[in-house]
Amino acid sequence: MRCAGPRVQQERDPSGVSHNGAVLYPVSFGDDEPDPLRARVLCSYAEGVRALVRLGQEYVDWTLPVESTACPAIGVAGHLLATARSCHRLLDASLAGRAPSDADRSRSLVCCGPIPPVPPDRLAAGIDRLVAFDAVATRYGERLADTGSDLRLGVWDAEGRLSATRHGLLLALEWHLHAWDLAGALGWDYRPADVEVLLDGLPPAPSPLPTGGPWEAVLAIAGRRPPAGERPSGP
């Protein structure tokens, strides 16, 4: 089984012939039968990366405040890059049989968590941060696809023994929530294609679920407050 990758580029087959379109990478499942959930997680992860980069290209003023994060858009971009980088260190530690550091665990499992302020002397162009995020997060998605489903990324307080697939799901949720945040700062709406898979990445939901559709429920459980009126869909 194959899953669309996060970036649009050319793919080469073993003969070296290139094909135009979205890059595809093979999904390794560790057994003969594909895991439908794992495939959906990887596709949602890739979709979230693409959405963030696409939205970043629309930004001119990176000092725009982003609701739900208490920081400007450039802070969100830096937070995304730091999170993606820490994921590689987390996976490296697990593959080497080492316990992950507390710092990397806190940065790579940050769904709905607070974003630290950006020091003025460290401000850089937000799009540069998202371009770097694209490369780092794309590579991590490829590594997840090549990782056996039985790999565990340490023991986590809220998750227990965290599998690679579960970590990909939590990251997909993180990417999509911040895509909604960045779109909202520009006055747009955003919603992912496969909302149902993201529901599995949330903490236990209240019963009954918040009113609205599945995406509205995800936003509410994640602490977001959608506006009362409708917003146009973003790019």
Q: What ranges do the domains of the chain cover?
A: 2-221
Backbone angles phi, psi at 109, to 5 degrees: -140, 65
β-sheet bridge partners, residue 26: 2
> Contact 218/198 with Cβ under 8 angstroms?
yes
The residue type at 94: S
CA 120 to chain centre: 26
Most confident among 25-34, 105-114, 118-127, 130-139 (mean pLDDT)? 130-139
**Range 2-221 has CATH code 2.102.10.10:** no
Q: What's the rounded mean pLDDT across residues 38-45?
A: 94
Minimal CA–CA distance to 144: which of 121, 124, 118, 171? 171
**Count of CB atoms within 10 A of residue 174's CB?**
25
CA 58 to chain centre: 19
What span, in angstroms and rounded, lies between the C-alpha atoms of 141 and 199?
Answer: 20
pLDDT above 80: residue 178: yes
Torsion of CA 138, 4, 161, 191, to 10 degrees: 90
Task: Give the per-residue pLDDT at 54.
Answer: 96
Which residues, including other chains, have CB under 8 Å from residue 176's CB and lie 6 or more apart? 44, 47, 48, 51, 190, 192, 198
Predicted structure pTM score: 0.79
Looking at the chain, the whole-number percentage of residues with pLDDT higher than 90 is 35
> Contact 126/74 with Cβ under 8 angstroms?
yes
Tokens 């990366």 found at: 49
CA 42 to chain centre: 10
pLDDT above 70: residue 184: yes
